[in-house]
Structure 1
């Protein structure tokens, strides 16, 4: 049996951490670990391989483990290229799989046996650079098995393979497991979980957030929602907005324009000559330490800061101080924050939480009508929560509640949705759940998003611009604005 308890790992440069609070595996097993890109799957591989520093906790002293990864395949391709481009004419053909295998084992019978099992005998003497991606993956598997490890670990083995090659590789992994070798697979897709996999773990935010028997984990309602988002077909429009709730704002113009904006309380300057424009179709992350000015900046956007009247600020095409009311500003904004979540104390049915968004109320106090009920059910379908329509809001997980509040703010599809620390207070699974849904909104909706966060790496994919408050060593913070690579 293999056991990890309260383990914290660090990369050799001491820049990145990975944690395994609890993991128990039997002597012979097939386990799959699922995680989004950047979640820490490769860090998990390096931790088990012994490449990371163990800062605390207990883990197996050593593992008889062979790792197969895309990085190792690239390294092999580079070695083959260097050999073919050397001055020795004997190296023109590069490496052959037979030659690679013989450097690991001189047991010719075992080489032929494994090649037969993996249907690879025909390619033993081909040049490595002439093999397909799937064939190159087989080379690494055979090479790993020749070392006779107790465990074979494959990091994202299905990437770059077509449907037939993925099916064949799944069958090979089952054959390896049935022959007595334990198998670990890291993947970023739930549909790549093998039916033979007995255990399933979820890797999120560089942490093994969930682990257990496969069916138990997959039956978790939050996990079911993650798989739901992955399987959603491309949606080109979200549920429509009722005519009486439609926002007539011209969305071809900038939503926010701030010029040399300064906010100070006495001699304490919070914002110092900030210039910021939010153009159409941009999604922004706003980040910085506590006290740097994020909340003050948001209060200028929502119309709640009286100092907005003494600054050059244009919101939704309206210059502040031109006679508009605070409601002229707020009607274009959806807003969700941890404090709002904590204040949302009613035990309303789930569908009523969504319906209340059409009326800007906490709770539902008037008849919504058939049209709005139908639209609310469409939103529940997108969330994967149709079965919870009449359940109490408080009976859902904290992450599911946060999703519902985001939908409540979104049903009228306002020009701007402010998500102020939407991941705060959520566990790893719930953070990933909310992040996936925000990514979905940015891909499919017309609403622009301001995503406010303290933590690097929280932002969902789809963010196009970033505003960062940077400590300049004085009592004020500088503002840095940059594009986010797509």
Structure 2
């Protein structure tokens, strides 16, 4: 049994999270819903016995494991630090394999392979963990958590980063775990990610959790009804570009890829891909986890080592013709899970926004008055003007993502590349960001490359779709659709 009554938990130096009542038994499933910055991740850590109560009652008799974005980021950070030091021998520099990571704390090869099969990652067991996509990494963490056979599984945003099929598989797997007597606590910000088998639901708002309610009572609650409708459309006026001069013009196609092939040893990621982007086009790139969507984007941005081995033309220049990476990226705004993981430098929301003008992670130049004025206009648009001097790294994951999306938009780039940009955002912020994207595209020269597994998360401005489809003989074929 897990019981919390009239308890408070410290959150930073001047804030506390309060829990009036929370009860969960073995074999029960509850779901906690909250907006960005509401305290969801702190709540998850409390349920996992990571934070002591400052006051009140906390009874915890369930062996627990937790899976979260923060844990996934920490694993990437730890692995990067472990393999990027001069103190290691040649063998130690090899990245940890998926199989070894799953068995990091509980060694049982048979159980590891069973869980890998359950989550459809058996083919990845020999791969380095750091080479996986965000969705694949999430499945690995789930398998790792289940290795210890916990009595309580706490999942903080478990469906983000997973494609449609993977989300359905995970939902079915969670129901099986529930039937085996494992207690489940899911923390989400999407109403459509509330499992149909969750008997108890509750809100966490502004670091306050009242109590769990039966499903029917929860949806009939006036507060729930109000929050369900709080994402109504509002008029938006985006801050202007820094320089109102005419944008540089490039001949069609803006991007051209010919006979693209990317492989690692014998594993082929992309094969014979021919694709181009012309003026006025906005592309949705779709496909299952591991099909090569992010690899494609990294070829375009120059962040993939095989980009110079392929026939790629960007803004009228063949890749490898003497251009610098910054000459290419000055025409781009980029948001991705990888960028979010890399943006670990100390700074404030204001400096993060300003860094978008210079395509840097961190701010290393003295910005001008106009840049500062525009950055503050963007913070006001996001409702974060009062937090401009807060610590970026202390913000919630969703607030960080929101800032990075605005950072990519701040210079009205020729090409806006958004890889799973809404990952980690609640329904209100997803709705607002989609409006920002549509408005920017409608009132600027920016063109969009957009990756998302959620059909409802695709902006209305999209004109084309590049779909990765599993081929009968293995690998993927490509299908282009005009929307």
Query: TM-score w.r.t. structure 2 length?
Result: 0.51
Cα deviation for residue 479 of structure 1 reads 0.8
Aligned to 1:253: 252
- Larger RCO: Structure 1 or Structure 2 (Cα < 8 Å, ≥ 6 residues apart)? 2
Aligned to 1:477: 476
Q: Secondary structure at the match of 1:201?
A: helix
What does the per-residue CA deviation read over 1:419-463, in whole Å, with 9 as the maximum and x for residues that have no partner?
A: 112123444454444334333333333211211123443322222
What does the per-residue CA deviation read over 1:94-149, in whole Å, with 9 as the maximum and x for residues that have no partner?
A: xxxxxxxxxxxxxxxxxxxxxxxxxxxxxxxxxxxxxxxxxxxxxxxxxxxxxxxx
2: distance between equivalents of 1:463 and 1:39? 24
Q: Is the 8 A contact 2:242 2:370 kept in 1?
A: no
What does the per-residue CA deviation read over 1:199-233, in whole Å, with 9 as the maximum and x for residues that have no partner?
A: 2336xxxxxxxxxxx5xx59xxxx98x56xx3225
Aligned to 1:466: 465
How many residues matched? 294
Aligned to 2:240: 239
Cα deviation for residue 465 of structure 1 reads 1.0
Q: Structure 2 matches for 1:66-105, cutoff 5 A?
A: none
CA-based RMSD of the aligned residues comes to 4.2
Are the structure 2 counterparts of residues 405 and 467 from structure 1 closer, same or farther at C-alpha, using a change threshold of 3 Å?
same
What does the per-residue CA deviation read over 1:292-331, in whole Å, with 9 as the maximum and x for residues that have no partner?
A: 1112211220123343334332111112233323333222
Whether 1:56 and 2:197 are equivalent positions in the alignment is: yes
Are the structure 2 counterparts of residues 366 and 387 from structure 1 closer, same or farther at C-alpha, using a change threshold of 3 Å?
same
Q: Secondary structure at the match of 1:56?
A: coil
What does the per-residue CA deviation read over 1:212-262, in whole Å, with 9 as the maximum and x for residues that have no partner?
A: xx5xx59xxxx98x56xx3225x4x7412248xx89531563321122322
Cα deviation for residue 395 of structure 1 reads 4.8
Are the structure 2 counterparts of residues 377 and 445 from structure 1 closer, same or farther at C-alpha, using a change threshold of 3 Å?
same
Are the structure 2 counterparts of residues 240 and 331 from structure 1 closer, same or farther at C-alpha, using a change threshold of 3 Å?
closer
Could you tell me which of 223, 247, 259 is aligned with 1:200? Answer: 223
Whether 1:376 and 2:361 are equivalent positions in the alignment is: no
Q: Structure 2 matches for 1:351-430, cutoff 5 A?
A: 351-430=350-429
Q: Is the 8 A contact 1:399 1:433 kept in 2?
A: no
2: distance between equivalents of 1:306 and 1:239? 35
Are the structure 2 counterparts of residues 310 and 360 from structure 1 closer, same or farther at C-alpha, using a change threshold of 3 Å?
closer
Cα deviation for residue 411 of structure 1 reads 1.9
Aligned to 1:86: none
Q: Is the 8 A contact 2:330 2:359 kept in 1?
A: no
Q: Is the 8 A contact 1:398 1:430 kept in 2?
A: no
Q: Is the 8 A contact 2:257 2:276 kept in 1?
A: yes
Are the structure 2 counterparts of residues 359 and 381 from structure 1 closer, same or farther at C-alpha, using a change threshold of 3 Å?
same
Q: Is the 8 A contact 1:413 1:447 kept in 2?
A: yes
Q: Is the 8 A contact 2:349 2:389 kept in 1?
A: yes
1: distance between equivalents of 2:463 and 2:235? 23
2: distance between equivalents of 1:39 and 1:444? 31
Question: Which one has a bigger Cα radius of gyration?
Answer: 1
Cα deviation for residue 482 of structure 1 reads 0.6
Where does the alignment leave 5 or more consecutive residues of structure 1 unmatched?
Answer: 9-14, 19-37, 45-53, 60-181, 186-197, 203-213
